[in-house]
Chain A
Amino acid sequence: MYPHERSLVKKMQGRPFALVGVNSDRDKQELQEALEKEHITWRSFWDKSTGGPIASTWRVHGWPTLYVLDARGIIRYKWVGGPGEAVMDKAIEKLVKQATVRRTAAR
């Protein structure tokens, strides 16, 4: 999971994309160690448990749950459990292209 996320962040540098986490670990110390060890550079909301307020509002029942929002904040994909790297990359690439065109056109 982490290697793919790291490579995604690297690949998308300079393009209109952001990886945002919602983390459900209870122990701050353990979480900080994990962030360092796995070189997790993207930001996460710290929800503090699988029953945390964000996971509850978003009705998350399985981990990981992944949402892809387009540049206007519309939900375009939802996966419970990873759908595989190829599927994710294709979906994200398509939306980032659209966001880039929109950005360029707006100038």
Chain B
Amino acid sequence: MHRVVGLLLLLPAMAMAGDNAKKQPMDQYQALVKQYNEQMDAFREAVRSAKTPQQRQQAFLRQPKTDKFAPKFLSLARKHPRTPAARESTTWVVGHASSNKFRGQALGILRRDWIKDAKVGPACMAATDILQPQAEPFLRAVLAKNPNHDAQATACLALANYLKDRVMPAVENIKDRPASATRYANELGKGFVQRLRQLRPAKLDEEADALYERAIREYGDVEVNGQAVASVARPELFELRHLTIGKSAPDITGEDIDGKTFKLSDYRGKVVLLDFWGNW
């Protein structure tokens, strides 16, 4: 009787100790995310409730530093490679870290271990946030090698967006402004800037255009973040064709504040600074 009771009392204790000892990687991931989100919530609340400039300044100091969290996520990914926690952790770093070093490390892991994974989509979207040397090879690899239709769809859209929104503007910036080139070199490396210099805008444009067309044609019905790929790709393609450097601007017909109609094309023959502004 005593021995049985003893054993029964021991079992729950053993189970608890077991849980604590091998806290699952995903649990650890969730805990880190929760910690970060709680700090973000506190920061936002502090900003919202600040009433004086000094209070606002104090509030902004509370913003959680993504680069303090990034190493923790990366460490978790390295301790448990090829687990969902590794995929989620590296995706978090790609989407949140401000340091190019951490984003690069995360993209390296993603490219090594996850390009064929069915759930690599969110990592692809995160990779489009910022110009980053490893982003393009990662996206191209997913598009070329992932067997899953939905993952391909996301990679196709993401690569098109990345070329249009990150690479093409960077190529223009480097041409026009030497100070930009220096800044890119400092952040992303001289080798990367040299490669950017060799890219031709017309060719980038052609490829992005073809990728958007492919997204609409081959993956139009796939849902990414609750939206059909075709309905996301079409306005992006419009922007590429009509609102990027070198394109003929769409005409505008509208009313001024006095209700009088006029057109942007009324100013043809003059250089126009078109200024989207507001007093709010």
Give the residues from 208 to 253 in chain B that come closer than 8 angstroms, CB to CB, to chain A.
235, 238-239, 243-250, 252
- Tally of A interface residues using CB under 8 Å: 57
B273's contact among A16, A24, A73, A92, by CB below 8 Å, is which?
A: A92
B278's contact among A24, A57, A72, by CB below 8 Å, is which?
A: A24
Give the residues from 67 to 85 in chain A that come closer than 8 angstroms, CB to CB, to chain B.
67-78
B271's contact among A23, A24, A26, A69, by CB below 8 Å, is which?
A: A69
- The distance in angstroms between the C-alpha atoms of A23 and B279, with both chains bound, is 8
When the two chains form their complex, are residues A75 and B247 in contact, meaning their CB atoms are under 8 A apart? yes
Interface centre among B262, B269, B276, B280 (most CB of A within 10 A): B276
A65's contact among B248, B249, B276, by CB below 8 Å, is which?
A: B276
Which residue on chain A has the smallest CB distance to residue B235?
A59
When the two chains form their complex, are residues A73 and B265 in contact, meaning their CB atoms are under 8 A apart? yes
Known contacts A23-B278, A59-B239, A75-B244; decide if A18 and B250 are in contact (CB<8 Å).
no
Interface centre among B255, B275, B279, B280 (most CB of A within 10 A): B275
B272 contacts the other chain (CB 8 A): yes
Q: Give the residues in chain A near B3, CB-CB below 8 Å.
A: none
B4 contacts the other chain (CB 8 A): no
Q: Give the residues in chain A near B272, CB-CB below 8 Å.
A: 17-20, 67-69, 73
- The distance in angstroms between the C-alpha atoms of A66 and B255, with both chains bound, is 19
Which residue on chain B has the smallest CB distance to residue A93?
B271
- The distance in angstroms between the C-alpha atoms of A18 and B273, with both chains bound, is 6
- The distance in angstroms between the C-alpha atoms of A103 and B262, with both chains bound, is 24
Complex interface bits, A25-43 against B, C-beta within 8 A gives 1, otherwise 0 = 1101011101100000001
When the two chains form their complex, are residues A78 and B245 in contact, meaning their CB atoms are under 8 A apart? yes
Q: Give the residues in chain A near B273, CB-CB below 8 Å.
A: 8, 17-20, 66-68, 88, 92
Q: Give the residues in chain B near A68, CB-CB below 8 Å.
A: 271-274
When the two chains form their complex, are residues B277 and A23 in contact, meaning their CB atoms are under 8 A apart? yes
When the two chains form their complex, are residues A76 and B277 in contact, meaning their CB atoms are under 8 A apart? no
Interface centre among B247, B257, B264, B265 (most CB of A within 10 A): B257
B270's contact among A16, A25, A34, by CB below 8 Å, is which?
A: A16
Q: Give the residues in chain A near B235, CB-CB below 8 Å.
A: 59
When the two chains form their complex, are residues A67 and B269 in contact, meaning their CB atoms are under 8 A apart? no
B81 contacts the other chain (CB 8 A): no
- The distance in angstroms between the C-alpha atoms of A105 and B17, with both chains bound, is 87
Which residue on chain A has the smallest CB distance to residue B260?
A43
- Shortest A16–chain B CB gap in Å is 4
Q: Give the residues in chain B near A34, CB-CB below 8 Å.
A: 279
- The distance in angstroms between the C-alpha atoms of A80 and B228, with both chains bound, is 27
B276's contact among A24, A53, A91, by CB below 8 Å, is which?
A: A24
When the two chains form their complex, are residues B246 and A74 in contact, meaning their CB atoms are under 8 A apart? yes
Interface residues, chain A, CB within 8 Å of chain B? 1, 5, 8, 16-26, 28, 30-32, 34-35, 43-47, 50, 53-55, 57-60, 63-78, 87-88, 91-92, 95-96, 99, 103
Q: List 25 A-B contacts (CB under 8 A).
A: A17-B270, A18-B272, A19-B275, A20-B264, A20-B273, A21-B275, A22-B276, A23-B278, A24-B277, A31-B279, A55-B276, A58-B250, A58-B276, A65-B276, A66-B274, A66-B276, A67-B249, A73-B248, A73-B264, A75-B245, A78-B245, A92-B271, A92-B273, A96-B271, A103-B269
Q: A65-B276, A74-B246 are in contact. List 5 more A-B contacts (CB 8 A).
A: A18-B272, A31-B279, A57-B250, A68-B271, A87-B177
